Every structure is written in structure tokens, then in C-alpha cells.
Homo-oligomer: A and B are copies of this chain.
Amino acid sequence: MLDDISLKILKILQEKARIPNVEVARQVEMAPSAVLERIRKLERQGFIDGYEVRLNPEQFDYRQIAFIKVQTSTVGDSPEVGQRLAEIAEVQEVHYIAGEDGYLVKLRVADTRELATIIREKIAVIQEVSATQTSTVLQTYKETARIPIRG
């Protein structure tokens, strides 16, 4: 699928996304233009989805992570509920979970007070939502979107 050079390029970019293209080229010992072409191709082919700046949540007054299990009265996965949950700005993740007729929602807030407000005003108001169960995070040991590149 991907050859060793492309895999190496991706590993380098996963270490440090803002590294200049010429530096990547040095590390894989190829001409910068060839490396650039490979990266563009990886973007076109959908191996690379994009580039993100990672802000420090605590600096922006998001000190609390919470996971909320959202139960619905309807059986199965009705797209509307997932989408409505996804629209909430503070929500970072929405997953529909097997065997529980419900969604798992991850969100960030300043504190439990703001958490309560969001549950009350943005989640509980969704028609199909029948119950929520909130777990607050006391400590985070790892939080990354990185995946191990096979090969």
C-alpha cells in the first residue's frame, strides 16, 4: 500500500507536524520536491486528513473533562440525536455505542457548574434523550489522536 519512504514521512510528520519540508527531505534523503509531491499525494488519497494546532485547554479555562452516556427513548441510532449532540461546541466526541441504545459524549468545560448548565440546556432538551449519566474525569494520563503506523 504505502512504501517505506511514505511511512517514514508520515512518522516524521506525526512527531512534528510543522517541520519544514526541506528538513523532512533531509531525513529521508530525497529531494524536497519529491517529498512535497508525496505529501500532496498522501493528502489527496486521504491518508492525511489535515493539520491541527493543539491548544492547551487549561489555558482557555477548560479544566474539566466529562464523559456523558446519553440514553434515548428510541431504539437504535437515529442520526438526528448524534448530530444534535455533535453541534454542541463544548462537545469533542460523539459515539454511538453498541448494546446500550445510547451515545457516549466527551466534552470539556470550565467546571462542574458549566457542565450542569450544558446538560440541562443543551443535552436534556433534545427530544429523544431519556436519561444521561455523567462521569467526571479526575486525572488524564494520555490524550492523543495519534495512531501507531503499522509496518
Whether the pair B91, A17 counts as a contact (CB closer than 8 A) is no
Whether the pair B55, A52 counts as a contact (CB closer than 8 A) is no
> Could you name 19 residue pairs across A and B whose Cβ atoms are closer than 8 Å?
A10-B55, A46-B56, A48-B54, A49-B55, A49-B56, A52-B145, A52-B146, A55-B146, A62-B147, A67-B95, A67-B97, A86-B142, A90-B147, A92-B145, A94-B143, A96-B137, A96-B140, A98-B138, A104-B135
Given contacts A85-B141, A86-B141, A94-B143, 14 further A-B contacts (CB under 8 A): A17-B17, A45-B59, A48-B54, A48-B55, A49-B55, A49-B56, A51-B51, A77-B139, A92-B144, A93-B143, A93-B144, A94-B141, A95-B137, A95-B140
